[in-house]
A and B are shown apart, each in its own frame.
Chain A
Amino acid sequence: MMGESMALPFWLDALIALLLLSGALVALLGSIGLARMPDVYMRLHGPTKASTLGVGATLLGSMIWFGVGHEGLSAQEILITVFLFATAPVSAHMMARAALHRRVACREGTHGEPWDEMDRLPGYAESSPSSDNQR
């Protein structure tokens, strides 16, 4: 459990508390966006940006907590942070590409379909699933 004997300076304690709380709030915001947005392309916005920032703030607070006094900074934490920040955009990009490839329907009232631009690229229209069906 949390040791009462630790002598963390007040401002450092306040900084860790602020980082943990704001991180949790931002991650919750991203998850609300994931649950409430009307279509896939909008739902991608919430978690891919907000959750990365929220978890990043939480990890930063934890790094300060363990780095000042306790067990010392662990290598795993730095690895998690680096890995998370490197992979989150890649996985978001691949999910968006999968949604475009499957031609998931947009919300009513969207101006133009997201894949219109894609079809104009040479060599891309042949590999799309709709033209596969026509053959």
Chain B
Amino acid sequence: MTATVLPIALALFSLSLLLNLYRLLRGPDIVDRILGLDTLNVNAIAVIVLGGIYMDSSLIFEAALLIALMGFVSTVAMTKYLVRGDVIE
């Protein structure tokens, strides 16, 4: 049953990645773009995890962990730059 659901879940996540990309490119304000990029990161983690199930190996979870870490750090850096005018004070 998982084998039939897996491509459907991947397709749904790809659709949501496209919607996030639309917001990232179009976003009227810079905060919209940051939000789109953050959501793109979170959904990319899910796509990598689904790919791991599909390939039946947990090797690529390192990449998902890296995206989770770097995505959070970059979001915090960008918002801190907007609020404070500086990343590291």
Contacts and interface: CB of A to CB of B under 8 A. Distances in A.
A95 B38 contact: yes
Dominant secondary structure of chain B at its interface with chain A? helix
Interface residues of A, number: 55
A76 B61 contact: yes
Interface residues of B, number: 53
B56 A23 contact: no
B23 A24 contact: no
A31 B20 contact: yes
Interface in A61-108: 62, 65-66, 70-71, 74, 76-77, 79-80, 83-84, 87-88, 90-91, 94-95, 97-99, 101-102, 104
A2 interface: yes
Dominant secondary structure of chain A at its interface with chain B? helix
Contacts of B43: 27, 31, 51, 55
Given A24-B12, A28-B15, A1 B72 contact: no
A65 B46 contact: no
B39 A30 contact: yes
B49 A59 contact: yes
18 contacts: A8-B2, A16-B1, A20-B6, A21-B9, A23-B9, A27-B13, A30-B39, A32-B19, A51-B42, A55-B45, A70-B56, A71-B57, A71-B58, A76-B58, A79-B65, A83-B69, A84-B42, A104-B29
